[in-house]
């Protein structure tokens, strides 16, 4: 891998997501050698992926080169590498570009879409966890309308214009709201010879409310916003299968559709070698103690989505969200320096800064510790927070300008089929 050997301890970080970047920043200019490995050369701001999928933002504006984030750190090395295995016995990571020894290892590999073992659903539905997946979805949505325009088969046309989003969490809700706005504001202009009023947007939620992790008020208001936008919200309904044409559920209800977007859950992005059953949870996360040490190891840590830190308040582990990832990354940075200096470690304490979701123009829900907002003010807070956490001045500017433009013009100009998506099935 061409990494110099120095007298400093080597810390390998797997993953340049929220947690990995926060940690690397903390370790900059310290007496350690940091090697960050990621299979992409960019950091992805996942909370805005749905805007890429729906043509509101270009993908480049929510991605940022990892090398640039850490360009001024002399003790830092980045390698574009897919880590395929961790050999904990020999303190070595095995990657597609070679092997590397570590003194300390931090697994910050995030999570991936959880299809709960249903291979057919996985094969036929769309995930939205990465930029390439979001671009696939963008292409598919637009291709559906192009195909709908050409077919004279009414059933086929309806299936092409029927969208099923599985999962009523923030991702499902935000995507549904964006699709509803496209239906209202863009499709009638782009496809005047297609009856776009028959476009259906369905959100299927297995429990009795959407935005489950938020307050009752936020959940009710979000549902109200979605219904006003014409989205069908199906609660207490569980998807049992999707064969590329028909969604079946645990009731008699079925959906004939060309597009299922799976936003029903995530699981840890485990890496071979560190996947022993006794420290891996049901959702494939690595059990860590309050210092983020993986159970059974003193020199191997996990942070962010992949780490399952159980607390009294969170018996199933901290939420798989950006804030716990960033906070754990920062805290572990401090702790690693303490560890190297032989000082006692400090336990991690999560500060819940609140949760939020946007449903569309002027419509958002925000739950802070003391205050809860819904509507226009919440929407401004949502925009401000997302701009603040985006990495890079240029990205912030581009996103801001895009949002202002889209707001004023009721438009989403990135509706481009640049890389056509090849469907695995035909309706
Ligand atoms: C669509 C969507 C919307 C979201 N919206 C919100 C939101 O509004 N608010 C919120 O707080 N959270 C949101 N989240 C969750 C949030 O993005 C995650 O909790 C957060 O990204 C976790 O950070 P992380 O550093 O643990 O992992 P990630 O940010 O996922 O980073 C993991 C990194 O590891 C790399 N990697 C993985 N495996 C390997 C390997 N084997 N070898 C090399 N590199 C590897 C990946 O390429 C990636 O760069 C959303 C997530 C999604 C998918």
pLDDT digits (tens, 9 = 90+) for 127-162: 999 999 999 999 999 999 999 999 999 999 999 999
What pLDDT, on a 0 to 100 scale, did the predictor assign at position 359? Answer: 97
> Looking at residue 424, what is its pLDDT?
60
Cβ of 332 closer than 6 Å to ligand 1, yes or no, is no
Section 165-179 average pLDDT: 98
d(CA 66, ligand 1 centre) in Å: 14
Expressed in angstroms and rounded, the spacing between residue 228 Cα and the centre of ligand 1 is 31
427 falls in which pLDDT band (50, 70, 90)?
Answer: low
| Nearest by Cα to 320 from 332, 308, 312 | 308
Where are the domains positioned within the chain? Answer: 10-39+81-113+266-340, 119-264
Nearest alpha carbon, ligand 1 atom 52: 46
For the whole prediction, is pTM greater than 0.85?
yes
Residue 425 has pLDDT above 60, yes or no: no
Q: Using CA positions, which residue lies closest to atom 53 of ligand 1?
A: 129
For the Cβ of 16 lying below 6 angstroms from any atom of ligand 1, the answer is: yes
CA 16 – ligand 1 centroid, Å: 9
Q: For residues 365 and 358, what is the distance between their CA atoms, to the nearest angstrom?
A: 6
Report the topology of domain 10-39+81-113+266-340.
FAD/NAD(P)-binding domain (3.50.50)
Q: Determine the pLDDT at residue 278.
A: 87
Q: Quick one: which atom of ligand 1 is closest to the CA of 16?
A: 49
Q: What is the mean pLDDT of residues 327-342?
A: 96
Residue of minimum CA distance from atom 23 in ligand 1: 18
Q: 72 pLDDT band (50/70/90 cuts)?
A: confident
Identify the residue whose C-alpha is closest to ligand 1 atom 15: 321
Q: What does the pLDDT average to over 235-245?
A: 97
End-to-end CA distance of the chain: 47
Residue 237, pLDDT score: 98
Q: Is 304 close to ligand 1, i.e. is its CB under 6 Å away?
A: yes
pLDDT digits (tens, 9 = 90+) for 349-393: 999 999 999 999 999 999 998 899 999 999 999 999 999 999 999
Q: Above 60 in pLDDT, residue 426?
A: no
* Average predicted confidence (pLDDT) for the chain: 95
pLDDT in the model for residue 219: 98
Could you tell me the pLDDT band of residue 311, with boundaries at 50, 70 and 90? very high
Distance 330 CA to ligand 1 centre (A): 16
Atom number of ligand 1 nearest to Cα 50: 1
| Rounded distance from Cα 343 to ligand 1 centre (Å) | 31
DSSP string, 286-305: EEE-TT-BBTT-SSEEE-GG
Closest CA to 138 of 190, 188, 175, 173: 175
Long-range contacts, stretch 349-352, CB < 8 angstroms, 24+ apart: 350/309, 350/311, 350/314, 350/318, 350/323, 350/324, 351/323, 351/327, 352/323
* pLDDT at res. 277: 83
pLDDT for res 423: 74
193 CA from centroid of ligand 1 (Å): 40
Residue 268 near ligand 1, beta carbon < 6 Å: no
pLDDT score of 172: 98
Q: For 7-65, write each residue's pLDDT tens digit.
A: 999 999 999 999 999 999 999 989 999 999 999 999 999 999 999 999 999 999 999 99
Lowest mean pLDDT among 20-24, 71-75, 98-102: 71-75
- The yes-or-no answer to whether 10-39+81-113+266-340 and 119-264 have a common fold is yes
Query: Cα of 41 to ligand 1 centre, how many Å?
Result: 14
Please report the pLDDT score of residue 195 as a whole number.
94
CATH of domain 119-264: 3.50.50.100
Q: How confident is the model at residue 280 (pLDDT cuts 50, 70, 90)?
A: very high
**Residues 115, 304, 302, CA angle at the centre, nearest 5°?**
105
């Amino acid at each position: 891998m061409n990494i110099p050997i120095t007298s400093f301890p080597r810390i390998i970080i797997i993953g340049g997501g929220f947690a990995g970047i926060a940690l690397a920043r903390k370790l900059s200019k310290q007496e350690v050698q940091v090697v960050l490995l990621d299979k992409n050369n960019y950091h992805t701001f996942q909370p805005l992926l749905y805007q890429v999928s729906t043509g509101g933002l270009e993908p480049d504006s929510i991605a940022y080169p990892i090398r640039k984030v850490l360009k001024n750190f002399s003790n830092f090395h980045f390698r574009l590498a897919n880590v395929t295995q961790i050999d904990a016995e020999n303190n070595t990571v095995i990657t597609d570009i070679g092997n590397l020894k570590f003194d300390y290892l931090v697994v910050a590999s995030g999570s991936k879409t959880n299809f709960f073992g249903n291979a057919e659903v996985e094969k036929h539905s769309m995930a939205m966890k990465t930029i390439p997946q979001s671009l696939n979805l963008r292409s598919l949505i637009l291709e559906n309308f192009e195909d709908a325009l050409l077919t004279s088969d009414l059933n086929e046309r309806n299936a092409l214009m029927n969208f099923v989003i599985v999962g009523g969490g923030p991702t499902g809700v935000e995507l549904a709201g964006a699709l509803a706005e496209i239906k209202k504001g863009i499709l009638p202009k782009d496809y005047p010879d297609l009856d776009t009023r028959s476009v259906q947007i369905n959100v299927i939620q297995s429990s009795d409310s959407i935005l489950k992790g938020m307050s009752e008020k936020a959940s009710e208001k979000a549902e109200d916003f979605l219904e006003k936008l014409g989205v069908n919200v199906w609660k207490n309904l569980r998807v049992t299968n999707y064969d590329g044409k028909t969604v079946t559920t645990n009731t008699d209800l079925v959906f004939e559709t060309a597009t299922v977007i799976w936003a029903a859950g995530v699981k840890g992005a485990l890496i071979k070698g560190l996947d022993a059953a006794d420290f891996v949870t049901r959702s494939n996360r690595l059990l860590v103690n309050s210092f983020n040490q993986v159970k059974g190891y003193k020199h191997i840590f996990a942070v962010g989505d992949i780490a399952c830190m159980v607390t009294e308040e969170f018996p199933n582990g901290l939420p798989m969200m950006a804030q716990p990832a960033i906070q754990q990354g920062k805290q572990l940075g401090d702790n690693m320096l303490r560890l190297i200096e032989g000082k006692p470690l400090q336990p991690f304490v999560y500060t819940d800064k609140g949760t939020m979701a946007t449903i569309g123009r002027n419509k958002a829900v925000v739950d802070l510790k003391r205050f809860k907002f819904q509507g226009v003010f919440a929407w401004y807070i949502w925009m401000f927070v997302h701009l603040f956490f985006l990495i890079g001045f240029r990205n912030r500017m581009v996103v801001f300008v895009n949002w202002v433009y889209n707001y004023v013009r009721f438009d989403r100009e990135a509706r481009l089929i640049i890389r056509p998506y090849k469907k695995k099935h035909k309706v």
